[in-house]
């Protein structure tokens, strides 16, 4: 599956993505606010195997996609949607980007492309994101896309040896449609 935005291609992960994805996910700066420790090559390989299996599930509920700049062939991050409650037409969104590629607006563009897909072809009603409140750039990113802070879960994750809070942001289909028309 491929989605495109003006500057990015969002495509299914492949076996060929193991090494470039591992270069990103083995970086402690990337893992800092994620629900994983810096990844080994074998852990990245196993992750991609799971993503490949999800690509053929019917109905497909998980879309874990490589972020690739137009004109390039190598991924610079990944993003995705997981429909957790199909009967409620609700999904969660995630994203991560190589530290070398931050500050270009690519993460926001990728998530915007996912929201177009979620509220268009997938006909979802609600999409939400979970951000560590200390990860200010990530919180700002989803806020810029029109997601609203719905609440904070206190110390709901034990990550990297400490209890962490989660800010939960959400956006509804009609809010995204008004934003796109706006």
pLDDT above 80: residue 182: no
pLDDT of residue 31: 84
- 16-70 pLDDT, tens digit each: 999 999 999 999 898 888 888 889 999 999 999 999 999 999 999 999 999 999 9
Segment 133-142 mean pLDDT:
96
- 105-129 pLDDT, tens digit each: 999 999 999 999 999 999 999 999 9
132: nearest Cα among 96, 165, 99, 98: 165
Q: How many domains does the chain divide into?
A: 1
Q: What percent of the chain has pLDDT over 70?
A: 100
Segment 138-144 mean pLDDT:
97
Run of H or E residues at 131: strand 126-131
Identify the domain containing residue 136 by its residue range: 2-181
pLDDT of residue 16: 97
The domain that holds 56 is classified in CATH as 3.40.630.30
Segment 69-86 mean pLDDT:
95
The predicted model scores a pTM of 0.94
Crossing angle of helices 18-25 and 41-55, rounded to 10°: 120
How far apart are alpha carbons 115 and 174 in whole angstroms?
12
Average pLDDT in the chain: 95
């Amino acid at each position: 599956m491929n989605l495109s935005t003006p500057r990015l291609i969002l495509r299914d992960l492949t076996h060929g993505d193991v090494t470039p994805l591992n270069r990103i996910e083995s970086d402690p700066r990337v893992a800092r606010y994620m629900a994983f420790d810096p990844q080994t090559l074998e852990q990245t390989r196993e992750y991609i195997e799971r993503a490949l299996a999800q690509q053929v599930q019917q109905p497909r509920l998980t879309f874990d996609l490589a972020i690739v700049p137009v004109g390039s062939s190598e991924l610079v991050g990944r993003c995705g949607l997981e429909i957790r409650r199909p009967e409620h037409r609700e999904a969660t969104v995630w994203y991560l980007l190589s530290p070398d590629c931050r500050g270009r607006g690519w993460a926001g563009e990728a998530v915007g492309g996912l929201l177009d897909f979620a509220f268009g072809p997938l006909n979802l009603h609600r999409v939400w994101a979970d951000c560590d409140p200390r990860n200010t750039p990530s919180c700002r990113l989803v806020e810029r896309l029109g997601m609203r802070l719905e609440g904070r879960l206190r110390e709901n994750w034990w990550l990297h040896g400490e209890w962490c809070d989660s800010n939960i942001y959400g956006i509804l289909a009609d809010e995204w449609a008004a934003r796109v028309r706006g």
